[in-house]
Structure 1
Amino acid sequence: MSTHSNSLDLGDVEAGFSDHSFDSKDDTLVVTTPASGTSPKQGVLDLDTVSDLLKHQGQRPTYAFEVKGKWREDTPKLPYQLKHKRNTFKTAGRWVRFQLWFNTYRKFWVFIVCLELAGIITAGFGKFPYAHNNAGGIVIGNILAGVVVRNELFGRLLYLVVNTLFAKWTPLWWRLCCSSMLQHLGGIHSGCSVAAVGWLVYNLVDMFRNRATVAPAVLVMGVIVLVTVAFTSIAAIPWIRNTHHNIFERNHRFLGWLSVAVTWVYIIIDNGYRNSRIWGTHSYGFAHHQELWLSIFMALAVVLPWTYTRKVPVHIETPSQKVAIIRFERGMQQGLLGRISRTSIWEYHTFGIVSASPYSAYHYMICGVQGDFTRKLVADRPTHLWTREVKFAGVGNTSTLYKRGIRICTGTGIGAALSTCLQSDQWFLIWIGSDADATLGPTIMGLIERGVGHRAIMWDTKKFGRPNTMELLAETFSLWKAEVVFITSNWQGNQEMMQGCKMRGIPAFAGNVLVIPSSSGSDKFVKCTIKWSQDLGRNLTHDYYTCLVIVEDKDQKVLCFIQADRYQPAGVPADYEVTIDHSWQYGQKNKDGAGRFVVLQNTGYKMHQHRFTTATAGDLALTITKKIGTALGYGKEMDGGEQLKAIADHGQFAKVFGDKMQTF
């Protein structure tokens, strides 16, 4: 989904891996995405409830682990231990996966395509005369929009405006929205490109319908423009882009340039004939038509990035045969990406930029060996490379919007993440990979030790195995008091972290602290009796106390049941806290965690979840009916105890809370 001048998707390439291009449509913020095959992706997620997201926790790790990170003096060190075997990833529910799939990229694309399709249909029925008479101008306008959003200068200006106006003081949801939109500008690029093809077809059909008054040269050039623009778009189909990157880049770029050239020829010829079969000179009229000026701006947007392409000296360090560390002169601000090539125009590859500060003597690119280009960097080290002096901004550049955050990355994806942590002491780095010294080399490891220090966790999978990533991320997020997490990983890693983090609104998970109200507080426990049948037909009965309890550090409450003989004796003068561990169980309406409630009891009991919800409805205190109904996922329609009880009497709880209790 790149432009004629920019060959890779800005959001995806920040992953900083290799010469593959990536499809950011399957990302979501920021951290941005991810989508197909082995392509590294990135996504940005609002994780203000991330410590609630440990849905698939395994048992606690058992191996000692040194945390390479210096916390601020007022921040406690993480009580990390290692788990030698990673937990099995469990796919999230369909709704969560749909939300991640239908990200801002696809929203942009769908909005633009649907809007312009409506315009084409309206014009076809004669209800949109402007579009009917200016279809050529609309085509060029769409191509211009698609090119501009991929222009480095426009992108840098847009990021600068957003980072300057909205940093830190605006609501978190707005800042997340800004990051997501900036990351997924590719949706505008591809949407406008598809729309341009649609308007070209409309314009060409209209010309052939009126071919008696249209010069043959205009018809021929119209067909040529349609073919070149269509093939330029086809070359950017995700399957082609991801599996045949060189074919994609060469065809997309050179066909794109050809499209610009034939568009110029078309508008000149069309203006010369101007709705007739007789050539004339209409220079004055030509200068007053929008097609001319739109074409001028389109050409400038395509040509300008190539005017600051330079051949620069480089030094290449190879810590192993799988990685090349390229050193360039001068420092860079954080969150930028650069394009490099061995030739001036043939093919460019994009990597994240590592720089300790904008005033450093050098900046670096970490290039993992995954294709011909990166393989040759190791086997045949060049002394000079071609690059564009003006770098383009990646979604990491929006890190300045947030007060505190976490960059989590795997392997050579650290190239897109490290600068943020080097240039801001409010960002924490989590790196997961095999043998950091061999992968990153002494130069990059030196930057991490000097610039990040104890704000980093370097997890060596060669020594300790794969971690429980969500547990690691959630605990770090909670202790670091972060606002956002930027993820840079491969497709599978991104799916695991992004799906886990997206499952928000689930108020209680292992490791959460519950604040139990005192017996004298306003939220009183209600005693209820649970009856159930166990193995061999045994009928059992036990008393429980139930109440809505607070999840510490969250503006949330969860319905809690405590077995009578484990209930804190009456008379406790103040609220007290308990931590959810493996002695607790939970029930929920679905695997996404809707309507979750927690139970402290003998985990050997084998009862179904609806026993608790039904008993609660029967013994409910009317003063908390609405809150209980909301906690069980029935929303605000539960205004009275009788209504909720009616649901229980009709067996509704048995239908939606039918599974057996589950242990954390």
Structure 2
Amino acid sequence: IPSKRHGKIFRRLRHTYFNVYRRLFSVVFSVNLIGFFVLLWQSRETGVNHLNVAAASSANIMAAILIRQDYIINLLFRVCWLVPLSAPLRLRRAMAKVYEYGGVHSGAGFAGALWYLFLTVVLTRDYAMAVMKSIPIMTTSYAMLTLLCLIVAFAYPRFRFLSHNVFENTHRLAGWTAVGIFWAQTVLIAQQLRKGTDHSTWGTIIRLLPFYFLLITTVHLVLPWVRLRKMTFHPERLSDHALRLHFKETMAPFSGIAISDAPLKEWHPFATFPTPLGNGGGGSLIISAAGDWTQKVIANPSTQYWVRGVPRTGVLSMACIFRSCLIVTTGSGIGPCLSFLMEPSRKQPCRVIWSAPCPEKTFGYDITEAVYRVDPRALVIDTRLSQKRPDMVLLTWQMYVESGAEAVFVISNPSLTKKLIYAMESRGVPAFGPIWDS
């Protein structure tokens, strides 16, 4: 295997510390920083107007919500699919990173929280100067600021990984509450502004820019829950460590769904893959024992689970803009890989490396056979038969060179995924994989 390109510091900066996710975060945050200084400059004589700050905060919160909507994510992927195979590899490589859109979400969310902090400072100043003497407005301001601080704190990667359920519940419940408080505060501010005018409270509200940002935000918070429904599955226990859930609905290509048995508490996303042609319609998903919830489901599967929204396009869908690719996966990562490998519309050749303990015994003959149907020369590694763990970096490089693939896609645990992607990218190989940003 060749040496890594460039110096260590440059490699770390480019592929780790300043990856696409962080670049998007930086762009969004920089735009807001410029806006902040422009606002200060324009308000140097008259003082900062709290309505402008409220508009900036609500606009960023709206952007953070919109970029997480299923239909917008699917649209982003479909736009990137339009890039032809004849386009330069450099362009296709850049477009394939579309799955790091979460940088926009975190950048806008963090900026929105900082704008709201500034709004609270401005309102506190106005309260102290008796410009807007309203205890309810000040109470809602500090209540919402507290909630935004909680959301930002629990979204920090280290806290998020330590207790994902706490992060998810805080993000959802505190987020809903914060938006509700923002609405209450908007009404309270409108009531203050209408004093001495001929406008009603409603007439004042519709003249406020934050009203429209909040309206769009609220609609999109509700939208996924409008499609909350129970979906019927036929469970097939593959082993004590894996479960396959079959369903009859037809899913969009390369997509996944999140399922739950308690929709207000936790959701678990899984990639879906189609049933082979000739075996009926529908598809299935694989659940592997990776925590308390998955172990409970495998031990006692249900025939119905909650789903919401629309199926969301996944990382592997971007393999369709490359002439050929190598897919590297471990354990139950084979499920998401099958969403691409078994898609009837797929045209390009694919090679597969799959490492798992007792693959056929754990995941069943059908899954193993499906891998070999796609790639008769697939490298399927039974880690129970090995004296030591396989060198996945070396194996990936060797098959990448042997197959002449244009890109490598990795679906594994966070540690190995990051390791393989860094190992390939630092040697000039286009490499992609999930980033666990939510």
Shared fold, TM over 0.5: yes
State the match for 1:124 in structure 2: 40
State the match for 2:225 in structure 1: 306
State the match for 1:338 in structure 2: 257
Q: Are residue 396 (structure 1) and residue 316 (structure 2) matched? A: yes
1:148 aligned to 50, 66, 70, which one?
Answer: 66
Shift of 1:505: 6.0
Counterparts in 2 of 1:527-542, with a 5 A limit? none
Give the length in aligned residue pairs. 416
State the match for 2:191 in structure 1: 272
State the match for 1:492 in structure 2: 415
Supply the distance in 2 between the matched residues of 1:158 and 1:223 (Cα, whole angstroms): 36
The residue type paired with residue 494 of structure 1 is: T
Give yes or no for contact 1:340–1:387 (8 Å, CA) kept in 2: yes
**1:159–1:505: structure 2 CA closer, same or farther, 3 Å change rule?**
closer
Cα deviation digits, residues 584-627 of structure 1 (max 9, x gap): xxxxxxxxxxxxxxxxxxxxxxxxxxxxxxxxxxxxxxxxxxxx
State the match for 2:86 in structure 1: 169
The DSSP-based 3-state class of the residue aligned with 1:306 is helix
State the match for 1:97 in structure 2: 12
Supply the distance in 1 between the matched residues of 2:189 and 2:223 (Cα, whole angstroms): 27
Give yes or no for contact 1:407–1:429 (8 Å, CA) kept in 2: yes
Supply the distance in 1 between the matched residues of 2:393 and 2:409 (Cα, whole angstroms): 14
Q: RMSD of the alignment, in Å? A: 2.6
Cα deviation digits, residues 515-536 of structure 1 (max 9, x gap): xxxxxxxxxxxxxxxxxxxxxx
Q: State which structure, 1 or 2, has the greater radius of gyration over its C-alpha atoms.
A: 1
TM norm structure 2: 0.87
Identity of aligned residues (%): 24
Give yes or no for contact 1:353–1:416 (8 Å, CA) kept in 2: yes
Give yes or no for contact 1:314–1:328 (8 Å, CA) kept in 2: yes
The DSSP-based 3-state class of the residue aligned with 1:301 is helix
The residue type paired with residue 11 of structure 2 is: V
Counterparts in 2 of 1:586-605, with a 5 A limit? none
Shift of 1:100: 2.0
State the match for 1:563 in structure 2: none
**1:277–1:417: structure 2 CA closer, same or farther, 3 Å change rule?**
farther
Q: Are residue 456 (structure 1) and residue 378 (structure 2) matched? A: yes
The DSSP-based 3-state class of the residue aligned with 2:155 is coil
Supply the distance in 1 between the matched residues of 2:258 and 2:153 (Cα, whole angstroms): 23
2:112 aligned to 192, 196, 201, which one?
Answer: 196
Give yes or no for contact 1:272–1:282 (8 Å, CA) kept in 2: yes
The residue type paired with residue 59 of structure 2 is: G
The DSSP-based 3-state class of the residue aligned with 1:213 is coil
Q: Are residue 244 (structure 1) and residue 163 (structure 2) matched? A: yes
Shift of 1:149: 0.7
Cα deviation digits, residues 479-516 of structure 1 (max 9, x gap): 3221111111223322432232123369xxxxxxxxxx
The more displaced of 474-483 and 99-108 is 474-483
Q: Are residue 253 (structure 1) and residue 172 (structure 2) matched? A: yes
Q: Are residue 437 (structure 1) and residue 355 (structure 2) matched? A: no
State the match for 2:433 in structure 1: none
Supply the distance in 1 between the matched residues of 2:71 and 2:192 (Cα, whole angstroms): 37
State the match for 2:138 in structure 1: 219
TM norm structure 1: 0.59
State the match for 2:126 in structure 1: 210
**1:148–1:454: structure 2 CA closer, same or farther, 3 Å change rule?**
same
Q: Are residue 364 (structure 1) and residue 257 (structure 2) matched? A: no
Q: Are residue 186 (structure 1) and residue 102 (structure 2) matched? A: yes
Supply the distance in 2 between the matched residues of 1:446 and 1:416 (Cα, whole angstroms): 16
Shift of 1:430: 1.5
Give yes or no for contact 2:187–2:201 (8 Å, CA) kept in 1: no
Give yes or no for contact 2:193–2:204 (8 Å, CA) kept in 1: no
State the match for 1:6 in structure 2: none
1:324 aligned to 218, 223, 243, which one?
Answer: 243
State the match for 1:12 in structure 2: none
Shift of 1:254: 0.8
State the match for 2:78 in structure 1: 160
Give yes or no for contact 1:123–1:132 (8 Å, CA) kept in 2: no
Give yes or no for contact 1:332–1:357 (8 Å, CA) kept in 2: no
Supply the distance in 1 between the matched residues of 2:262 and 2:184 (Cα, whole angstroms): 29
State the match for 1:383 in structure 2: 303
**1:131–1:394: structure 2 CA closer, same or farther, 3 Å change rule?**
farther
The residue type paired with residue 248 of structure 1 is: F
Give yes or no for contact 1:310–1:386 (8 Å, CA) kept in 2: yes
The DSSP-based 3-state class of the residue aligned with 1:190 is helix
Shift of 1:213: 1.7
Supply the distance in 1 between the matched residues of 2:86 and 2:50 (Cα, whole angstroms): 46
**1:141–1:99: structure 2 CA closer, same or farther, 3 Å change rule?**
same
In the alignment, structure 2 segments of 5+ residues that lack a partner are 430-438
Cα deviation digits, residues 40-73 of structure 1 (max 9, x gap): xxxxxxxxxxxxx5449xxxxxxxxxxxxxxxxx
The residue type paired with residue 392 of structure 2 is: T
Q: Counting helix residues as a fraction of each chain, which structure ranks higher?
A: 2
Give yes or no for contact 1:54–1:470 (8 Å, CA) kept in 2: no
The DSSP-based 3-state class of the residue aligned with 2:271 is strand
State the match for 2:28 in structure 1: 112
